Every structure is written in structure tokens, then in C-alpha cells.
Amino acid sequence: MSFGLSILEILFLIQIALVFGIIFDQRRNPTSTVSWILVLLLLPGLGFFLYLFFGQDWTKRRLFSLKAEDDQRIEDIVIAQRSGLGRFAKDTTYERFLSTIRMLLESNRAFLTADNTLTLFTDGTAKFASLFDAIRAARHHIHLEYYIIRDDTLSRELIQLLTEKAREGVQVRLLADALGMKVKKKGLKEFEQAGGQHAVFFPRIFTLNYRNHRKLAVIDGTTGYIGGYNVGVEYLGKGPLGYWRDAAIRIEGMGVNGLQLRFFMDWNYASSEKLAYDPVYFPKNPGTGKCPVQTVSSGPDARWSQIKEGYVKLILSAEESVYLQTPYFIPDEAITDALRIAALSGVDVRIMIPCKPDHPFVYWSTLSFIGDLLDSGVRAYTYDNGFIHAKTIVADGIAAAVGSANFDIRSFRLNFEASSFFYDQEYGGQLKQAFLDDLPKCTEITVESYRNRSRWIKARESISRLFSPLG
């Protein structure tokens, strides 16, 4: 009797072991667990490699421990602010969003600063022109953190500018996710020789999980940028998807400290240099604006999905309107229920998504989840003037968030994200108006048009949606 096993039989036994591991060892979302079990059982061999690439959970314990150490650094700020939020309750304009501010303070240590001036960008050319001008004016340090840095004309212009500033004696630190860093070491040689420093986040590029999806910049601790733009010519509208509609904000004021703190944590995780929390990086120069800002981080190093929970609070606090833009809409039940409840309560809820896919699987899943909400009164639109990559939400034209987090499960649970929440009629109104200005370039997805879609589209949606909870 032979006990020899084939490779496929060995892989199948390994997959059975993984199934039991997922069920009994890892505290996963139940929907995600069921999806992975189906993949492992129905796709022998292939399922094993898919799990290694998308589903493994090997580094979470270390990430949690690092997060716990850094959280202690801002506990004093949180304690001081707990008793100082009452003044916002006195202003009826912001009163309904006070619970959002308090929740983000308690769950994410997202301290509030109220002296900020914001600049909203919806066009990549204007955003990068502003960033490059700020870099040229830098006198002490430049901290940049991006998910993707392409090897193209825009990145070369940026690296050349950073090299010049490093030669001037400015401290320059460049952080990119290992999966998204496309510039080869040769392209950074001159930058390094000039004194510039760079690091890559989470170099295990064989997995798509735990990617640093954040996009932020801090100049001299006084000017900061956060939003959806990576570094590449497609973000200037020069890629295959055409015009690129995105969103970012420039922050001037003490709110920059929130971006700086986020950079410090990520740099100290990824780099061999342990950057000291020197006051020179956190100047106490009060801003001249009046916009309250909280910068919120989330990721697999956190117990809860804080950005998602912030989205939910904004949706349920709205009395008049909720407008959101996202390239990927694969929500969990909390987001879906919040949007449906708001729409059924008479709130004007509108969602804008792309008309074309950069990731077909995600695109068809997005349409499927949009379809679920139409009967409740949610209105949805496809952006027809190129590709929309903005990750924004604005409630009542007052409270809003701009950052890197999409409305999908990957952003909520598996990627490292950062978004700035702000509470202001002027800037919230600008973001709402930007949404309204996009409507003439859109096609509305009506209940009738969705029901009349072809069988082929229905099949693609169903297949894509089946695997959307993987993670």
C-alpha cells in the first residue's frame, strides 16, 4: 500500500488546516471568514496561494504593540481636551457634530485644533504646484509619505527638487509603501548623496494586505497636505483613464501637528532612524484661521475602524444632506445601514463613483452595492469626465472628511489610512459645492436604469460581489 501524496493532495490538506485556523485561531469578520473558507475549499491549490497573498495575518501583533507605545505620547492632550469640548456645544451650527468630535478623540486620540486655514484641491496640477511651492520655501524639514511614487516625469521633478533642498541643509524624509515605490535605487542615488533620507513601509510585497495607503506631506511643521493624490502623471490627468478628479486639502495651523505625528509613527516603524519627538518639528505657532480639524488614522494596528466609524457618525448626524465621492464603494453593513437610514429619514444622500474601472472586479462590486441603496432613496451617479479618485464625505455642507480612505472593506480593515475631519461652514460648503459642480459631468443611476441592466452585467456583479469580503 502506497502512502505517497500528490502535490495537489498536500495542498488540499494544507487548505483544510487553514480553514480550521481561520475558524478557531483568527478573530476575523464572520463574512470574511465564510468567503475565505469558500475560496480554500472550492479552489484547491489556487486558494492556498490567494490566502498567502491576500489573507495572511502574520504581522498584526507587532503592529499593535507599536501603536500602543505611540498612543501614550498624546494621552495628555486627550485628557486636556475631554473637558474643553463644551464650547462647541454652545454653537448650534456644530452642536450635532460634537458627538463625532468626542468619539474620534476617545477612540483614535484624534486631538482637535481650531485655528486652521484650509485650501481645497480637486485638480492635480493645482495641488502639486502648491506642494512644490511649499517645498521650495522649506527652511527646516520636509516630510512626505505616499502609497505610490511612480517612476515618471512628475516623480523625477519631485525628487530633483527634494535633492536641491537637501543640499541646502533642509532635512528631507521620503516614505513610500514598498508595493507602491516604483523608483529604483539608482533614481535615488543623487538624493541620498545630497543627504536626503528615504524608507519603504512593510517590504513584504508578496501580500496586498497591510499596505500604507496614506498620502500626506508636512513642511516645516506649519503646512500640511492630505488627500487622495499619489505621485504620478496619471494624477495630473495624463494617464490612460483621462482627466483625474481627486481631492486634497492644505492645512495651515496647529492641525498640521496631527499630520506630523502620523508621519513620525510611520517613519519610526519603517526606518532604521528613530526620529525623536523634538519640539522643533511641532512648532507652537497658532494659526490665523478658525476651522476645527481632527486627523484620524486607521488600519490593522487599531482595535476599531475609526475612519469608518467617523463616516458613520457624520452620516447619522446629518439633517439635510450627505454627499460622498469614492472610486470604490464596497461598504460593510454599518455604512450601508447608515446611508439607508439617513435617506429614509429624508436626508438628501448622494454617492458619486467612476464611470470606468481601474480595477474591474472592484468596479462591478461597487455597482452591486450601489444597487442595494437605490430603493431607499439614495441617489447615485457615475462621473463621466475621466476618473474620480476622491475620497470625501460632507454632511450638511458643514462637517466633512478628506483623505486616503475609500468606502470599502480594504480601507476599513486592511490598509493604513489617514483622513482629516473638519467642521466649518465655509470649507464644508466648498466641498459640497465641488460635488454639485461635478453633477453636470455625471450620469445618474436610477432605479429603472439599474433594473434594466443586462444579464451579463448582473452576472459580473454577482461574481464580483461574492468575493468582495475577502480580507
Is the pLDDT assigned to residue 48 strictly greater than 80?
Answer: no
Domain range holding 277? 61-80+115-292
Reply yes or no on whether 389 is catalytic: yes
Residue 90 lies in a domain: no
Q: Are residues 334 and 352 in the same domain?
A: yes
Report the alpha-carbon angle 35-408-33, nearest 5: 20
Q: Are residues 39 and 132 in the same domain?
A: no
Residue 208 lies in a domain: yes
Question: In the beta sheet, which residues pair with residue 242?
Answer: 239
- Better-predicted residue by pLDDT, 353 or 30: 353
Give the amino acid at 30. P
Task: From 242, 264, 292, give the residue that closes a domain.
Answer: 292
Output the pTM of the full model.
Answer: 0.85
Catalytic residue among 57, 123, 396, 408: 396
Mean of the per-residue pLDDT values of the chain = 87
C-beta atoms surrounding 48 within 10 Å? 18
Task: From 292, 317, 343, give the residue that closes a domain.
Answer: 292
Residue 156 lies in a domain: yes
Catalytic residue among 141, 143, 215, 313: 215
Count how many domains the chain has.
Answer: 3
Q: Are residues 354 and 403 in the same domain?
A: yes
Is the pLDDT assigned to residue 415 strictly greater than 90?
Answer: yes
Q: Are residues 133 and 243 in the same domain?
A: yes
Reply yes or no on whether 213 is catalytic: yes
- Cα–Cα dist 175/273, whole Å: 12
Residue 424 lies in a domain: yes
Quick one: average pLDDT of 339-358? 95
- Better-predicted residue by pLDDT, 461 or 315: 315
Contact 281, 260 (CB under 8 A): yes
Q: Are residues 149 and 131 in the same domain?
A: yes
Catalytic residue among 127, 308, 313, 391: 391
Q: Are residues 271 and 392 in the same domain?
A: no
102 burial (CB, 10 Å; 0-12 / 13-18 / 19+) is middle
Of 334, 360, 434, residue with least CA distance to 393 = 434
Of 390, 142, 421, residue with least CA distance to 248 = 390
Task: From 250, 265, 292, give the residue that closes a domain.
Answer: 292
H/E stretch holding 243 reads none
Catalytic residue among 141, 143, 213, 432: 213
Please give the C-alpha separations between residue 235 and each of 176, 230, 353, 382, in angstroms, as whole numbers: 16, 7, 17, 19
Q: Are residues 254 and 353 in the same domain?
A: no
From 11-25, 213-227, 343-357, the region with the lowest mean pLDDT = 11-25
pLDDT band (50, 70, 90) for residue 357: confident
Residue 92 lies in a domain: no
Is the pLDDT assigned to residue 77 strictly greater than 90?
Answer: no
Reply yes or no on whether 266 is catalytic: no
Orientation of helix 30-42 relative to helix 7-24, angle to 10°: 170
Q: Are residues 228 and 344 in the same domain?
A: no
Q: Are residues 375 and 403 in the same domain?
A: yes
Residue 98 lies in a domain: no
| Residues 242-282: tens digit of each pLDDT | 999 999 999 999 999 999 999 999 999 999 898 988 999 99
**Residue with the three cell numbers 541620498:** 192
Q: Are residues 187 and 262 in the same domain?
A: yes
Q: Are residues 149 and 250 in the same domain?
A: yes
From 204-218, 370-384, 418-432, the region with the lowest mean pLDDT = 204-218
Residue 448 lies in a domain: yes
Please give the C-alpha separations between residue 26 and each of 29, 66, 210, 304, 333, in angstroms, as whole numbers: 9, 20, 16, 16, 21
pLDDT band (50, 70, 90) for residue 5: low
Residue 44 lies in a domain: yes
Reply yes or no on whether 220 is catalytic: yes
Q: What is the pLDDT of residue 78?
A: 67
**Tell me, what CATH number does 395's domain have?**
3.30.870.10
- Cα–Cα dist 225/130, whole Å: 10
Q: Are residues 22 and 49 in the same domain?
A: yes
